[in-house]
Structure 1
Amino acid sequence: MRTTNKQNKSQFIAVDSIAAELGAVMEVAKEISLAAANAKAIAFRAREKAKGFQPITDFINELAKETLELVNDINENSLLLYQLTVNEYRTADAYRKLEQAAQMAEGAAHGKSIQARVEAAKIKMQASRGQFRWHVSQLLNQLEAVMRPARAARVIAANSRIEASQAGEYMQSLQAVAESVDNAAQIIHDNVQRCRSVLSIIVIAE
């Protein structure tokens, strides 16, 4: 049971770490949205010189919105994961105490009744673990979904550089936008990858 307590502690740490990474992803997604707004303003001033850049700003903004929506959903699931970790800890602790009581009451007249409660607690604990594992797999799927807009943002950033190179005196400003989108997409990718690694370790530990 000491292993279970250690495992629960690891789960608490993992869920906290995921929450921190997701908070960082949200901030970066907001930065992408701001970059899109700045690019739109520059493209508007540049007119014909940045004609090809104008639709790109809409794509960048949509990707930022999509990322924020996905991360909001993931945050809800990670909060639920925290609650499930608490529940699993409590059910495991109850099972441990009942198991100890059953060992102490072995051979006593009421021993069988305690054993029945031990079995019921064990079933409850296993159900809690099953719920936790299922939500971990759901969260892994959601994190994979966040990777898609991050990958798309990097492709758009590459296209943005090409369009920016034809924008005359506005080239540097638009290329700076392309760089900020590319960097933000890389940060999102890295943060989400760390979340996935943490979850994978939990799955293995389970």
Structure 2
Amino acid sequence: MQVSPSKSQFVAVASIAAELSAVMEVAKEISLAAANAKAIAFRAGEKAKGFQPITDFINELAKETIALVNDINEHALKLYRLTVKEHRMAEACKRFEKVAASAESALHAASLRESLQQTRQRHADCHREFSRHVSELLSQLADVMHPARAARVIAANSRIEASQAGEYLQSLQAVAESVDHAAQIIHDKVHKCRGALSMIGTAA
């Protein structure tokens, strides 16, 4: 059975919301990892002197990601509302077209054609707005990729600095691994969001 464009839009927007929720949770985990790393680096003192500023970078990246995802969630909500609106407009157009076709020879058929034209225009406007929001959301998702890439670079540097931390080596390396893993998850989730958006953007 073929899935209608509006249904595929609903599915795509719902999946994006789920992926963004996961991204938010992972970003919070990075923030927690930064706090743990700061505490470990403080206890390690001079042995982890090079690691201390890294924890600030990790925390800033987590905050940046959370802020970006909050903005994206607002946009995704607008996209969902537009999906509902466009679906309703499409259904209204279909009904008008059926009525107009069956009343073609009626005395006041012209008034129906005018209403149909207005409905089609509103549907076209809604469709354009939907497409614009898809493009904007794709751009915002691209922005989330930047802190995720930066986090992976920082994680690599963290491993180097952790190697100088003596008995704190394993604890700080665990932090680096958790940041690297979290950044990879964010990258993968955002990539899925962009894929889903690209599909409905193409369909639109």
Say whether residues 1:147 and 2:145 are aligned partners: yes
Aligned twin of 1:72: 70
Aligned twin of 2:45: 47
Whole-Å Cα distance in 2 between the matches of residues 137 and 36 of structure 1? 33
Matched positions, count: 203
In structure 2, runs of 5+ residues without a counterpart are none
Task: Give the alignment's Cα RMSD to 1 decimal.
Answer: 0.9
Offset at 1:204?
1.2
Q: Which amino acid aligns with 1:106?
A: E
User: Quick one: which of 100, 114, 117 aligns to 2:115?
Assistant: 117
Q: How does 1:1-206 map to 2 (within 5 A)?
A: 6-206=4-204
Percent identity of the aligned residues? 67
TM-score where L is the length of structure 1: 0.97
CA displacement 1:131-179 (0-9 Å, x = unmatched): 0000000000000000000000000000000000010000000000000
SS across alignment from 2:4: helix
Whole-Å Cα distance in 1 between the matches of residues 4 and 200 of structure 2? 12
Offset at 1:124?
0.4
Q: Which amino acid aligns with 1:111?
A: A
Q: Which amino acid aligns with 2:200?
A: I
Offset at 1:188?
0.1
In structure 1, runs of 5+ residues without a counterpart are none
Whole-Å Cα distance in 2 between the matches of residues 105 and 153 of structure 1? 64
SS across alignment from 1:109: coil
Whole-Å Cα distance in 1 between the matches of residues 61 and 198 of structure 2? 26
Q: Which amino acid aligns with 1:97?
A: R
SS across alignment from 1:194: helix
Whole-Å Cα distance in 2 between the matches of residues 62 and 140 of structure 1? 23
Whole-Å Cα distance in 2 between the matches of residues 109 and 34 of structure 1? 72
TM-score where L is the length of structure 2: 0.98
SS across alignment from 1:10: helix
Whole-Å Cα distance in 2 between the matches of residues 185 and 86 of structure 1? 33
Offset at 1:110?
1.1
CA displacement 1:18-49 (0-9 Å, x = unmatched): 00000000000000000000000000000000
Whole-Å Cα distance in 1 between the matches of residues 132 and 202 of structure 2? 13
